[in-house]
A = this chain, B = another copy of it.
Amino acid sequence: MDMTVSHQQDVQSYIESNQENFLEQLFQLLSIPSISTEESYAPEVQRCAQWLAEHLEEIGMELVEVHPTEGHPIVYAEHCECGDEAPTLLLYGHYDVQPPDPLDEWKSPPFEPDLRDGKIFARGATDDKGQFFAHIKGIEAWLKTAGELPVNVKLLLEGEEEIGSKHLAPWVEENREKLSCDAVIISDSSMYAPGLPTITYGLRGLAYMEMSVRGPSHDLHSGLYGGAVPNPINELARIINALHDDGGRVTIPGFYDDVRPLEEEERQAFAALPFSEEEYRQETGVSKLKGEEGYTTLERVWARPALDFNGIWGGYTEQGAKTVLPATAHAKFSCRLVPDQDPDDIARKAQKWVEELAGEAVEVEVRIFHGGEAVITERDAPAVRAAARALSTVWNEEVVFTRGGGTIPVVATFSRKLDAPTVLMGFGLGDDRLHSPNEKFNLENFYAGIRVSAHFWEEMADAD
């Protein structure tokens, strides 16, 4: 496709001169509180899907559809005018966001985007609205200047990523043909460091669970009964504590059975990355780092499984003192998994182990929530190399290859259902506070993302 070479300058000029419009549009998108985890926000999630569909029509996508699911809708669009010989790319993003709590820790309201110090503050700024929107703008730049794209592009935006993408897998299964592609592109991750373009070739998986410990059948007066009956908070703490050994290893029997060991080459590559334990400690604000013995921090978060508690509650939690010995106590916890651990297998093992740890004095129930498989992509796939060229062109730096600690369950879905490699090119930064108050996306990264996207479509057209 020779014509593309001559277009890139126009495309980049278009991006340059439309930065303000793009930002204003992103602010509109970020203003919609599309919180998928809370049922009462379902109409806002719906409204966000509609907004996106209309926007995709406006920029000139040839086909735009909003597919209802039993949960939140899937927005699908495509522009496939290059024919069968040209590569086809599937761009995935998610337009739903995490709840904003605790609200009072936000410096500006989570759904009133605010630009301060070159940073866009809003829930979803980097996770994932700002990132996939950069690609939409990269596509727009081509359509508005060249009138076409150098490759076939399909776009899939889901509204349930933060609640486990429950309805995505069956929808992908039903639409295998429609979604067939040579590679999947996702920008829902971070650059290794500011200015250091990054491709993530591995992700951890997830098994998420909740346990409820029941002691007495009803709340008791702690004076009248304290010391004679099992206290579910104490018992819950005992179970939590028994889930790790002194070396920071998870005690669930069989937990490490299927863990793929780190390759020596990977350990060396990780060790070669600029990384300061002290900076990491300061960034997280902890007094001391803590994890599985025998591994570095990067190895721990990228290539080793972990078990963390995400929430805990029980008894009296309001102001002041109430001398209750509660009937129940609860905790949410999750395992981060690495290849080749299976989420269902791990969840069942965890469930069984917690039930065993509970002992005779209390009853425990473990509910299993959604899971996600860990994934790993070959580093020499054509799409990976095209992405690397686009990234290094824009950032003027060699690309670094990393793995990620988080989970993008859809990556496993695509890999399984579409048999296509996934390229993760994150435009975010490590300090973006995703899932936390004051989530942000650097304006520079938003604009760079748009330029990378515009280059990528062209690099992909030339890819071998």
Q: A residues near B, CB below 8 A?
A: 37-38, 98-99, 101, 105, 163-164, 190, 204, 206, 208, 215-231, 233-234, 236-238, 240-241, 244, 280, 284-292, 297, 300-301, 304-327, 329-332, 334, 336, 360-363, 369-370, 404-407, 430, 433-437
14 new A-B contacts at CB < 8 Å, known A221-B436, A231-B309: A37-B320, A218-B437, A222-B310, A226-B306, A227-B301, A231-B308, A237-B237, A290-B361, A310-B323, A310-B324, A312-B312, A312-B313, A312-B314, A316-B332
The smallest beta-carbon distance between A107 and chain B, in angstroms, is 12
Task: Find out whether the CB atom of B308 lies under 8 angstroms from the CB atom of A234.
Answer: yes
Chain B residue with the shortest CB-CB distance to A244: B234
Contact at A230–B320, with CB atoms within 8 Å? no
Residues of B within 8 A of A311 (CB): 233, 314-317, 322, 324, 326
**A436 contacts which chain B residues (CB < 8 A)?**
218-221, 324
Using A218-B285, A226-B405, A312-B233 as known contacts, say yes or no to A163 and B320 having CB atoms under 8 A apart.
yes
User: Could you write out 5 A-B pairs with CB less than 8 Å apart?
Assistant: A38-B318, A226-B301, A237-B241, A311-B317, A312-B317
* B406 in contact with A221 (CB, 8 Å): yes
Chain B residues in 8 Å Cβ range of A291: 227-229
| Cβ-defined contact, B286 with A323, below 8 A | no
CA distance in complex: A329, B317 (Å):
11
The answer to whether A304 and B227 touch (CB under 8 A), given A233-B240, A310-B315, A369-B320, is yes
Which residues of chain B have C-beta atoms less than 8 A from A323's C-beta? 206, 208, 310, 334, 406-407, 435
Q: How far is the CA of A26 from the CA of B363 in the complex (A)?
A: 39
User: Can you name the residue of chain B whose Cβ is closest to the Cβ of A127?
Assistant: B221
Q: Are A229 and B329 in contact (CB under 8 A)?
A: no
Q: Please indicate the chain B residues that have their CB under 8 angstroms from the CB of A336 in the complex.
A: 222-223, 226-227
Q: Evaluate contact between B361 and A230: CB separation under 8 angstroms.
A: no
CB pair A315 B312 closer than 8 Å: yes
Closest to A335 in B: B226
